[in-house]
């Protein structure tokens, strides 16, 4: 991949990563609930989903999904339902200042955080459509395709990890002071719950 083309890819990748969405909300919620360092597990799950999306598009399956209203809607509504479920669970979460329970919540298994991140990003057919439009701009058919897809995938994944961890997860650390009393916990639970639900509804309604 030419340096100028790669530079354009970096710019586009940063713009995509900084655009708020379900992944950003999930990252901030993980950072708030489980800590800045452990939020990485959720981010890695989101990157696994991103890699799967790239593979789907690269193998041509993305065209089938985008051209099949039934397949697209099944994935779209499943993704929307999952986000709404996460939102309701977060919204209804009761404030708890018990140190043992707080510590238990902060020690959520890494596998659980990884799986949630995976499903948050995977159940988003619009990501497939986006990559269908995005990837061809940086792929040259007269050059080896495998190497180009590897460079593209590594670039997008690394950029997204950096933005998610050092921007969104770090930003959530500023809210930690609100977790030390019941009122603060209740407000944060409702704010993040509403954000999850809002993104889910948007995913379900926007075609």
Chain position carrying tokens 């200042």:
97
> Which pLDDT band, with edges at 50, 70 and 90, does 115 fall under?
very high
Q: Which residues contact 31 (CB under 8 A, 6 or more apart)?
A: 39, 168, 169, 170, 172, 173
pLDDT tens figures, 129-169: 777 777 777 777 778 878 888 888 999 999 999 999 999 99
In the chain, the percentage of residues whose pLDDT exceeds 70 is: 86
Q: Which of 182, 40, 68 is nearest to 125 (CA)?
A: 68
pTM: 0.76
For residues 62 and 149, the answer to whether their CB atoms sit within 8 Å is no
Cα dihedral 82, 88, 91, 92 sign:
negative
Q: What is the pLDDT of residues 65-110, one digit of tens each?
A: 667 778 777 777 887 888 888 888 878 877 765 555 555 556 789 9
Q: What is the pLDDT of residue 206?
A: 66
Specify whether the CB–CB gap between 66 and 128 falls below 8 A.
yes
Mean pLDDT over 110-114 rounds to 93
Q: Residue 179 carries which DSSP code?
A: G
Query: Which residue ranges make up each domain of the chain?
Result: 21-205
């Amino acid at each position: 991949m030419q340096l100028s083309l790669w530079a354009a890819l970096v710019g586009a990748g940063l713009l995509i990563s900084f655009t708020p969405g379900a992944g950003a909300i999930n990252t901030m919620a993980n950072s708030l609930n489980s800590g800045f360092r452990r939020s990485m597990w959720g981010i890695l799950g989101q990157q696994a989903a991103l890699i799967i999306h790239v593979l789907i598009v690269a193998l041509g399956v993305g065209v089938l999904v985008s051209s099949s209203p039934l397949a697209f809607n099944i994935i779209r509504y499943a993704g929307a339902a999952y986000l709404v479920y996460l939102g309701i669970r977060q919204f209804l979460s009761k404030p708890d200042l018990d140190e043992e329970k707080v510590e238990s919540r902060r020690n959520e298994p890494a596998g659980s955080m990884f799986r949630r991140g995976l499903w948050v990003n995977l159940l988003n057919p619009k990501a497939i459509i986006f990559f269908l439009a995005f990837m061809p701009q940086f792929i040259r058919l007269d050059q080896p395709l495998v190497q180009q897809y590897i460079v593209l995938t590594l670039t997008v994944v690394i950029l997204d990890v950096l933005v998610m961890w050092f921007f969104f997860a770090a930003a959530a650390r500023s809210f930690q002071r609100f977790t030390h009393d019941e009122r603060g916990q209740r407000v944060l639970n409702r704010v993040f719950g509403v954000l999850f639900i809002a993104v889910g509804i948007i995913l379900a309604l926007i075609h």
